[in-house]
Amino acid sequence: MKNISAEIVAVGTELLLGQIANTNAQWISEKLASIGINVHHHSVVGDNLKRVENQFRVSGDRSDVLIITGGLGPTEDDLTREAFQQITGMGIVEHEPSMRKIEAYFQNQIADMTPNNRKQARVFTGADVIENQTGMAPGMIVSFERKTWIFLPGVPREMKRMMTDNVLPHLQYLSGADTVIKSSMLRFIGIGESSLEHELSDLIQCQTNPTIAPLAQNEGVAIRLTAKADNDEEATAVIDRTKQEILDRVGGYYYGDDDQTLAEKVLELLQQTNKSVGAAESLTGGQFTDKLISVPGASNVCRGGIVCYDTKVKERVLHVKPELIQQYGTVSKECALSMAENVCSLLDADIGISFTGVAGPDYSEGHPPGTVFIAVYTTSGKQQAEKYTFQGDRQTIRKRTVLKGYELLYNLLK
């Protein structure tokens, strides 16, 4: 297998302005890794002819395969073709099959085609043209000075179809790939990244195949295992062996693999145990319930939620006794437990969970921002109330509170 270095260049000022995220580069990198091609650089350049030209020169000097996304549209700021022509001198011609497709599109839409749409059918002389099955502008594969240049539309659905159907098979042939690279994510909750790394330090230091990479994530921490093998089955076996070694040590914190979220895992456990849950949310404002009902199948286990931000709502809707609030305050274990028990009864759920605290930026009831109480109550008689102190701004505190609530539920259900 040839050792090929690849670079992904995204063209578009909207990416630099933060108006859209460069998800194309992430997706392409993942697909290239699966066929053993290493991506050494991600680059983003705005819609400026000179800057695009300069970026192409830099990228062409350092990479073997250049995948360019964007800048193939009909407008004046779509400059990818022009920039590449500047550095190569290649001719550009109109690709008749693509032009016929563009004309047919406007005829079917009963709309006039403006002249600038002809630009989308322009391709480099001698290019291997890739038909756009889901849009207008075709893609291209071009060889120049022993480098492979691949031009793709920036629209994700168009790019992905071309990559899957045409580009990946071409690159696999080009590299003589006989090696499979496969990755798997192991997800953990309730343990920090440094603690996880400490528990696995000897495995990490001696890693060869698979590689072991601890990662901080939005939901807990994760370990990415990446294996190389002759085929998918062998790669899976390599990963599974190391995964078991890891779980033998820290399996108590493990909740799932790959893209599984903690909310999905909690819903799965609720279904397995035939339990339902209802939530009373003060500072979280419905985020816990929203996260759960975003998962398909939630209607079977989620009774609903009550957003009880105001003290009067806690008293009149949730029936938290006024004297309890007067004695302990709304930011307290006692109030949290009462909220959890009462929402369990009001919503006819097996489990009630509640959230109360101070998201900030100001103190409340003498408590600093980040002071949070979470309580869980079950009809079987279990109850738990915990105090936490979270750091961060208002939104970060709320997100961490929701995540901690899912952690409590996960530990209760598992």
Q: What is the pLDDT of residue 1?
A: 55
Q: What is the pLDDT of residue 30?
A: 87
> Is residue 28 within 8 Å of 22, Cβ to Cβ?
no
- Identify the CATH number of the domain defined by range 5-175: 3.40.980.10
Q: Is 69 helix (H, G, I), strand (E, B) or coil?
A: strand
Q: What is the pLDDT of residue 52?
A: 98
**Nearest by Cα to 106 from 121, 93, 91, 95:** 121
**What is the separation of C-alpha 320 from the centre of its chain, rounded to a whole number of angstroms?**
39
Helix axes 262-272, 394-413, angle to 10 degrees: 30
Q: What is the pLDDT of residue 37?
A: 87
**Nearest by Cα to 325 from 311, 304, 337:** 311
Q: Which residue has the tokens 């528990």?
A: 199
pLDDT in tens, the chain (414 residues): 567 899 999 999 999 999 999 999 999 998 998 787 889 999 999 999 999 999 999 999 999 999 999 999 999 899 999 999 999 999 999 999 999 999 998 988 888 999 999 999 999 999 999 999 989 999 999 999 999 999 999 999 999 999 999 999 899 888 776 667 788 999 999 998 899 999 999 999 888 889 898 888 878 899 989 888 888 899 999 999 999 999 999 999 999 999 899 999 999 999 999 999 999 999 999 999 999 999 999 999 999 999 999 999 999 999 999 999 999 999 999 999 999 999 999 999 999 999 999 999 999 999 999 999 999 999 998 999 999 999 999 999 999 999 999 999 999 998
| 282-328 residue pLDDT tens | 999 999 999 999 999 999 999 999 999 999 999 999 999 999 999 99
- Cβ of 147: how many Cβ atoms within 10 Å? 15
- Enter the pTM of the model: 0.70
**Nearest by Cα to 353 from 294, 271, 410, 295:** 410
Distance CA 377, CA 194 (A): 32
Sequence ranges of the chain with CATH classification 3.90.950.20: 262-413
Q: What is the pLDDT of residue 159?
A: 96
Exposure class string for 300-327: b at 16+ Cβ within 10 A, else e? ebbbebbbbeeeeebbebbebeeebbee
Sequence ranges of the chain with CATH classification 3.40.980.10: 5-175
Distance CA 278, CA 88 (A): 64
Taking the CA atoms of 249, 250, 255 and 261 in sequence, report the sign of the dihedral they define.
Answer: negative
- Backbone dihedral region for residue 176 (phi beyond 0: left; psi -120 to 50: alpha; all else: beta): left
Torsion over CA of 279, 281, 286 and 292, rounded to 10 degrees?
-30
**Nearest by Cα to 219 from 246, 267, 186:** 186
Q: What is the pLDDT of residue 35?
A: 81
Tell the CATH topology of 180-257: Alpha-Beta Plaits (3.30.70)
**φ/ψ (deg, to 5) at 319:** 65, 35
- Cβ of 178: how many Cβ atoms within 10 Å? 10
Q: What is the pLDDT of residue 220?
A: 86
**φ/ψ (deg, to 5) at 326:** -65, -35
**What is the separation of C-alpha 181 from the centre of its chain, rounded to a whole number of angstroms?**
20
Q: What is the pLDDT of residue 40?
A: 96
Sequence ranges of the chain with CATH classification 3.30.70.2860: 180-257
Name the class of domain 262-413: alpha beta
